[in-house]
Amino acid sequence: MKNIKGFILLYFKGIAMGSADVVPGVSGGTIAFITGIYENLLNAIRSVDLQALQYLKKFQIKALWKHVNGNFLLPLLAGIATSVLTLAKVITHLLAEHPIQVWSFFFGLIVISALIILREIKQWNIGVFVAIALGIAAAYFITSATPAETPEASWFLFIAGAVAICAMILPGISGAFILLIFGKYEFILSAVKEFRIVDIAIFGLGCIVGLLSFARLVGWLFNKYHNITVGVLSGFMIGSLNKVWPWKEAIETYIDRHGDLKPLVEANVLPNQYFAKTGAEPFFLEAILFAAAGFLIVLAMDRVAAALNPKK
């Protein structure tokens, strides 16, 4: 019964990670961190190595399962896949119809998540403060970049997958937003919706290569420079607030592949300026309530994780 409850909990954590990963501005790595499974996730990914291939080659399924921590990976990946396949359309619809409320929710979620991650720093020093500042600057620069027109060739899809998956496991850096910068966010979403096998397979192969290599680097940094690494990751999250600020004015627009007008370059504006600049309702009170909801949900998740992992 305990194992079943653990599987179900991991499955729902996977759903939360997958939901975050399809939003340009929110990272599945953030969800993994605040639910207490981030380092377990890195270790499980790193375990997919030559030894695992040897077990697979010899068809030693039980040894392979134990080596890669299958009891952890299977329900988590199932939850992520469920979200990507079923919620991609829902989330993109909500972003199109209720952008201020959705972005406000994620703004509150990321603010409290960054504070919770800062709690993981065991020893504060000048190096940690520099790491946080560098993380903020890097995330701000990335989220301020303008989406580019890029090729749809197989080699570029592979590269986009490899880079985006690295961002997806970094708290604060959104893989979906990296795809947006690469000009491949809508392309990949439509490939999933239309079930274009070849495009999905090439992109997925890039994700696998990027994930297996990058997880090792992050895992090594966690082991050798824990406080510095946590500082950089929390800085990433704080800097990414630039992207999820709810009130934006479109500076430049473009026509997407479906003929719809979409913002290309946006500038953050204050709520009291939003109506004057855009002519749209700022929904300030609703934004406050949705931000508070994101804040409280993360606090609740943190409390549950602490109760389930009392030694943490």
Report residue 1's pLDDT band, with 50, 70 and 90 as the boundaries. Answer: very low
Dump pLDDT digits (tens) for 25-70: 567 777 787 777 887 888 888 888 888 888 888 888 888 899 988 8
> Which residue is it, tokens 């197989």?
154
pLDDT at 71 > cutoff 70:
yes
CA-based Rg of the chain, rounded to a whole angstrom?
20
CA 19 to chain CA mean position, Å: 9
Of residues 269, 275, 278, the one with CA closest to residue 247: 269
* 275 token code pair: 């109506």
- Mean pLDDT across the chain: 81
The pLDDT, as a whole number, for residue 53 is 84
Which positions ≥6 away from 197 have C-beta within 8 Å?
none
Sequence ranges of the domains in the chain: 86-300
Other beta carbons within 10 angstroms of residue 192's beta carbon come to: 16
Q: Which residues of 125-135 are buried (b: 16+ CB within 10 A; e: fewer)?
A: eeebeebbebb
Are 32 and 97 spatial neighbours (Cβ–Cβ below 8 Å)?
no
Weakest-pLDDT range from 105-119, 194-208, 277-291: 105-119
Which positions ≥6 away from 22 have C-beta within 8 Å?
83, 84, 87, 88, 91, 92, 176, 189
Report residue 147's pLDDT band, with 50, 70 and 90 as the boundaries. Answer: low
Largest Cα separation within the chain, whole Å, is: 67
Weakest-pLDDT range from 48-62, 175-189, 203-217, 231-245: 175-189
Report residue 312's pLDDT band, with 50, 70 and 90 as the boundaries. Answer: very low
What is the identity of the amino acid at 193? K
What is the identity of the amino acid at 12? F
Q: Over pLDDT 90: what percentage of the chain? A: 13
Helix runs in the chain, H state only: 2-21, 28-34, 38-46, 50-57, 61-67, 70-97, 99-118, 126-144, 154-168, 175-181, 185-194, 197-224, 226-239, 241-244, 271-278, 284-308
Which positions ≥6 away from 49 have C-beta within 8 Å?
none
* C-alpha dist (Å) from residue 48 to 1, 118, 160, 228, 235: 28, 29, 21, 26, 29
The pLDDT, as a whole number, for residue 251 is 80
* Averaged pLDDT, 266-278: 87
Are 167 and 27 spatial neighbours (Cβ–Cβ below 8 Å)?
yes
